[in-house]
Amino acid sequence: MFPDSRGVSPSVMEEITQNVLELWHEHRIPIILSSLFLLSLLRIYLHSAEKRQGLVALPKAYEKVPQFPSDSADEKLKTEIEGRGPESPHSHGSGTEKRGSKQGPKRIKGDISRKARAGTEAGNETRRIQILLFYSSLTGSTEKITQTFTQDLAAVLGCSAENELGSTFLAPRVLDLAEVDYDEYFISPPKTDTEQTELFYLFIIPSYNIESINDSFLEHLQETHHDFRIDTSPLAPILGYSVFGFGDREGWPTEEEGFCFQAKEVDKWMAKLSGRKRAYPLGMGDWKRDGKERLLEWRTGLADVLKQLQQTGNLGDGVPGSGDPLESDDEGEPEDDGEVQWEEAPSSKGAKRGSDGIEDVEDLGRIMELSRADSTSGRKSAAPVAIDFTTEGKPVKKAVTVTVKEMVPKNSPTYTALTKQGYSIVGSHSGIKICRWTKSALRGRGSCYKFSFYGINSHQCMETTPSLSCSNKCVFCWRHGTNPVGTTWRWVVDPPQLIFDGVKENHYKKIKMMRGVPGVRAERFAEAMRIRHCALSLVGEPIFYPHINEFLGMLHAERISSFLVCNAQHPDQLAALQHVTQLYVSIDASNRESLRRIDRPLHRDFWERFQRCLDILRERRFRQRTVFRLTLVKGFNVEDEVEGYADLVERGLPCFVEVKGVTYCGTSTSSSAGLTMANVPFYEEVCDFVVALEKALLKRGLKYGIAAEHAHSCCILLASERFRVDGKWHTLIDYDKFFQLLEEKGPDGDFSPEDYMGPPTPEWATWGNGGFDPRDQRVDKKGRPIEAT
Ligand SMILES: Cc1cc2nc3c(=O)[nH]c(=O)nc-3n(C[C@H](O)[C@H](O)[C@H](O)COP(=O)(O)O)c2cc1C
Ligand code: SF4
């Protein structure tokens, strides 16, 4: 054998090859597996690096799911977007973020480069809102006003035409409805220059009862909505819309007579086409009188909504797509319909006048501190005492200690039931709800009887109670049998400031939720953002709350009037009450037996308490504006009771007697008490009762007369002749004067109801004239206009 050219003999070579082959056969599986593993690692690394890049490319300020009418429209849009892609860096990628990821990786890369140029980290700045302002004008005034309005709005929003890339709001575009192609804007929203630009529609529309451009525009909106080939809400992708109307009250004094009727129509059809995206209520102005003022008010409210949109990407509560549009008076029957009986504390059971072991009222502060500490820690604590606020005579210490709990804890069935009924619970024992009259007034459909009798605007009225607990279980109570009851306050006591701030906050929140509700008027909405009256009458017993006077002081300091209703079961608290604007006592029956049957009081000495309250009212009649409130329930407290009620009036000598037919609320509480619709008196029956009562009072030499009525809510007002001046009733209140007196003389000051008596009761509200606010339109249950009586 000869060695090869490298000096290795063939036999050695053969041996090496043999060894390598043997090695391979022996270890090939681990080698293959290791290689595969390494390759996998490499692939995972490369893949993850690629994904990170993708995430950088898609930062989103907020998600918006587009709603496109149909697949074909979707396809069309997609084609349009892609078609624009290569032409310009701005249009390239337009719509990729909201209009689907189907566009492919190339489009995403285009997006990155543009964002990088904009120099943003979060990508927020690239989101833009384009306002399109449509108007019509026959004689030119709207056109002129629209130009100024647009400049002002742009200034308020900080729109900047020069620096469009940096601003959220692009300069508004003004479009004359006589010139635009409706198909371009009102079949689906037009495509925008960039994908982040979204549209907001505004309309300023004068009304014309002659043929005008408005008619063809409205026809187009209507046809689009009814076109079976198009989705019923093809404008749903816009961010929102709002309408303002100009009209002339000289020729068309009321809405029923045609004031701003075409703006109302545009508002209605836009609500349908946009899927109820009314961002701000319909504004209306009389071009000869208050047009500019109303427009400014509308612009201010609108700017707030737009700024919210800028910050949050949604329109706020109550508007579809962003919040819960539930109306708060949705009074469905609660699932838990049993009366929540709060465990009676040992101290309250059988608490007698002068019995041992009840803490002095002065110790309230200490209890409050303890309870506050307790509520913040969320623990139950052993409290020193229970206080009987309702027992007459001197309170005395009681040896038994009890546990201080929250009256309505968040996890309780009571809390669930009340919130389901539309209440907001503030702290642990206060409640707030928007009453149906507040909503009605916001929609121009009438205020409650307190507007007719006392000049209270329902849309500026807050209804609340600082105590959800009561010491009665009245058969007609609308609290659905879910509220706590008891004769003593033995719960955590929330500080008045917490309650005051909480109820206001929740009231405004509920008002704001009405923004998108059809029919809400911009003018009333703007007014409603200033609470002027507080009805302390919701449910429960307000004077049960140990700090009621401090709470009243807070209301008055903000010039909010106070109408306080109490159940005539707490004479001590009534005696300690400081000035309120109007003080009510519920007079639910004229004799002991009837009162027991209807109010189902918890106090054994309920009749004595009741009578003592009447005596206090009599003493106070020249210091407080006192009112008896009678709620008539047929079969319970009407028949043969006129004389008895006249006796009570003689005892209490209230300034006013309000007589109201019961409102049937159909709760389990009322039905278990045998209450049906048959117990609700007809208005004529209430009238007959009041006429008989007036006669009975005159028979006793008591100078009262029927002053006013509000047939709509089955309510009639008897007033003392003290409030008749020169043959005219003066049931209205001069609120400014009330606050002035209060500020001058203090909460215990010496001033009388006559000192803040208002101007004469309006003619339409006086007895025989029905009492419906002539500014508003009365509607039936389906919202159809009906003639005011
Ligand atoms: C012929 C005519 C008909 C009108 N019809 C109504 C109407 O039905 N309801 C209304 O509130 N205002 C009506 N107006 C008042 C206008 O809406 C109001 O003057 C408006 O400001 C006009 O705007 P313009 O100058 O932009 O056209 C009418 C005015 C005219 C001249
Ligand atoms: S007074 Fe009562 S009914 Fe009238 S608006 Fe106020 S809360 Fe509603």
| 3-state helix/strand/coil string of 285-340 | EECCCCHHHHHHHHHHHHHHHHHHHHHHCCCCCCCCCCCCCCCCCCCCCCCCCCCC
Q: What is the DSSP string of 179-208?
A: TS-HHHHHTSPPP-SSTTEEEEEEEEEE--
405 beta partners: 491
The pair of three-digit structure tokens given for residue 111, joined into one six-digit string: 């997006």
Whether 438 is in the pocket of ligand 2, judged by its Cβ within 6 Å, is yes
Digit-coded pLDDT (tens) for 330-340: 222 222 222 22
Distance 217 CA to ligand 1 centre (A): 16
How does the average pLDDT of the chain come out, rounded?
77
Distance 214 CA to ligand 1 centre (A): 11
Tell me the C-alpha distance between 69 and 675, whole Å: 51
- Nearest to residue 203, comparing CAs of 175, 168, 183? 175
pLDDT at 344: 26
CA 143, 144, 145 angle in degrees (round to 5)? 95
Q: How confident is the model at residue 413 (pLDDT cuts 50, 70, 90)?
A: confident
Residue percentage of the chain with pLDDT more than 70: 72
Look-up of token digits 């129509």: 265
Instruction: Burial-class residue 552 by CB neighbours within 10 Å (0-12, 13-18, 19+).
Output: buried
Digit-coded pLDDT (tens) for 757-787: 999 999 999 999 888 777 766 666 555 566 5
- Residue 437: what are its φ and ψ, rounded to 5°? -75, -30
Whether 207 is in the pocket of ligand 1, judged by its Cβ within 6 Å, is yes
Whether 460 is in the pocket of ligand 2, judged by its Cβ within 6 Å, is no
Give, using CA atoms, the residue closest to atom 2 of ligand 1.
Answer: 208
Helices 213-226 and 261-273, interaxial angle, to 10°? 30
The pair of three-digit structure tokens given for residue 340, joined into one six-digit string: 């929540």
For residue 416, which amino acid is it? T
Whether 641 is in the pocket of ligand 2, judged by its Cβ within 6 Å, is no
- Which pTM was predicted? 0.66
Instruction: Burial-class residue 143 by CB neighbours within 10 Å (0-12, 13-18, 19+).
Output: middle
Distance 538 CA to ligand 2 centre (A): 9
Ligand nearest to the backbone CA of 532:
2
Whether 139 is in the pocket of ligand 1, judged by its Cβ within 6 Å, is yes
Which range has the top average pLDDT, 46-60, 136-150, 153-167, 328-342?
136-150
Tell me the C-alpha distance between 576 and 578, whole Å: 6
CB-based contact 785:778 (threshold 8 Å): yes
Distance 210 CA to ligand 1 centre (A): 9
pLDDT at 786: 61
Handedness of CA 483, 487, 492, 498 (dihedral sign): positive
Give, using CA atoms, the residue closest to atom 5 of ligand 1.
Answer: 208
Whether 437 is in the pocket of ligand 2, judged by its Cβ within 6 Å, is yes
Whether 208 is in the pocket of ligand 1, judged by its Cβ within 6 Å, is yes
Give, using CA atoms, the residue closest to atom 2 of ligand 2.
Answer: 535
Q: What is the mean pLDDT of residues 65-83?
A: 34
Q: What is the mean pLDDT of residues 667-683?
A: 73
Distance 755 CA to ligand 2 centre (A): 24
Tell me the C-alpha distance between 596 and 589, whole Å: 9
Tell me the C-alpha distance between 577 and 565, whole Å: 12
Whether 245 is in the pocket of ligand 1, judged by its Cβ within 6 Å, is no
Ligand nearest to the backbone CA of 538:
2
Distance 259 CA to ligand 1 centre (A): 9
Give, using CA atoms, the residue closest to atom 8 of ligand 1.
Answer: 209
Residues 6 or more apart whose CB falls under 8 angstroms from that of 731 comprise 453, 454, 656, 707, 708, 717, 719, 723, 758, 761
Distance 140 CA to ligand 2 centre (A): 43
Residues 6 or more apart whose CB falls under 8 angstroms from that of 536 comprise 464, 465, 466, 542, 562, 563, 564, 565
CB-based contact 704:694 (threshold 8 Å): yes
Whether 448 is in the pocket of ligand 2, judged by its Cβ within 6 Å, is yes
Give, using CA atoms, the residue closest to atom 28 of ligand 1.
Answer: 208
**Helices and strands per DSSP (H, E), number in the chain:** 22, 19
Mutate to test the pocket of ligand 1, among 135, 217, 243, 246 (most ligand atoms within 8 A of CB): 246
Distance 19 CA to ligand 2 centre (A): 102
- Nearest to residue 742, comparing CAs of 624, 651, 647, 657? 624
Tell me the C-alpha distance between 299 and 522, whole Å: 10
Tell me the C-alpha distance between 458 and 533, whole Å: 8
Residues 6 or more apart whose CB falls under 8 angstroms from that of 350 comprise none
Question: Does position 91 have pLDDT exceeding 60, yes or no?
Answer: no
| CATH code for the structural domain at 423-765 | 3.20.20.70
Cα(first)–Cα(last) distance of the chain, in Å? 133
What's the ipTM? 0.91
Whether 248 is in the pocket of ligand 1, judged by its Cβ within 6 Å, is yes
Tell me the C-alpha distance between 202 and 126, whole Å: 22
Question: Does position 628 have pLDDT exceeding 60, yes or no?
Answer: yes
Question: Does position 327 have pLDDT exceeding 60, yes or no?
Answer: no
Tell me the C-alpha distance between 249 and 199, whole Å: 33
Distance 290 CA to ligand 1 centre (A): 15
Whether 246 is in the pocket of ligand 1, judged by its Cβ within 6 Å, is yes
Distance 246 CA to ligand 1 centre (A): 7
Ligand 2 atom showing the smallest separation from residue 459 Cα: 5
Whether 295 is in the pocket of ligand 1, judged by its Cβ within 6 Å, is no
Ligand 2 atom showing the smallest separation from residue 538 Cα: 7
pLDDT at 57: 32
pLDDT at 785: 64
Residues 6 or more apart whose CB falls under 8 angstroms from that of 174 comprise 133, 135, 146, 147, 150
Distance 675 CA to ligand 2 centre (A): 24
Distance 537 CA to ligand 2 centre (A): 9
pLDDT at 31: 80
Tell me the C-alpha distance between 521 and 775, whole Å: 13
Question: Does position 320 have pLDDT exceeding 50, yes or no?
Answer: no
Distance 177 CA to ligand 2 centre (A): 42
Tell me the C-alpha distance between 503 and 759, whole Å: 31
CB-based contact 485:471 (threshold 8 Å): yes
Mutate to test the pocket of ligand 2, among 456, 503, 536 (most ligand atoms within 8 A of CB): 456
Ligand nearest to the backbone CA of 629:
2
Distance 638 CA to ligand 2 centre (A): 24
Q: What is the mean pLDDT of residues 497-516?
A: 94
Mutate to test the pocket of ligand 2, among 443, 463, 510, 712 (most ligand atoms within 8 A of CB): 463
Look-up of token digits 């000192």: 755
Whether 207 is in the pocket of ligand 2, judged by its Cβ within 6 Å, is no
Distance 240 CA to ligand 1 centre (A): 26
Question: Does position 526 have pLDDT exceeding 50, yes or no?
Answer: yes
| CATH fit for domain 128-312, picks 3.40.1390.10, 3.40.50.360, 3.40.50.720, 3.40.630.30 | 3.40.50.360
Residue percentage of the chain with pLDDT more than 90: 51
Question: Does position 2 have pLDDT exceeding 60, yes or no?
Answer: no
The pair of three-digit structure tokens given for residue 696, joined into one six-digit string: 């009975």
Q: What is the mean pLDDT of residues 695-699?
A: 97
Report the greatest alpha carbon distance in the chain: 153
Q: Which helix (H) or strand (E) holds 247?
A: strand 240-247
Which range has the top average pLDDT, 68-82, 100-114, 249-263, 375-389?
249-263
Residues 6 or more apart whose CB falls under 8 angstroms from that of 356 comprise 396, 397, 398, 399
Beta-sheet strand order (sheet of 128-135):
173-176, 128-135, 197-206, 240-247, 283-286
Q: Which residue has the higher pLDDT, 318 or 76?
A: 318
pLDDT at 541: 86
Q: What is the DSSP string of 56-108?
A: HH---SS------S-HHHHHHHHHHHHHHTTT-TTTTTTTTTTS-GGG-HHHH
Q: How confident is the model at residue 348 (pLDDT cuts 50, 70, 90)?
A: very low
CA dihedral 173, 175, 179, 183 (to 10 degrees): 80
Ligand nearest to the backbone CA of 434:
2
Handedness of CA 68, 74, 79, 85 (dihedral sign): positive
Digit-coded pLDDT (tens) for 289-310: 999 999 999 999 999 999 888 8
Digit-coded pLDDT (tens) for 8-50: 566 666 777 777 777 777 778 888 888 888 887 887 777 655 4
The pair of three-digit structure tokens given for residue 447, joined into one six-digit string: 């205020």
The pair of three-digit structure tokens given for residue 345, joined into one six-digit string: 């504390």
For residue 712, which amino acid is it? H
Whether 209 is in the pocket of ligand 1, judged by its Cβ within 6 Å, is yes
Distance 260 CA to ligand 1 centre (A): 8
Give, using CA atoms, the residue closest to atom 7 of ligand 2.
Answer: 463
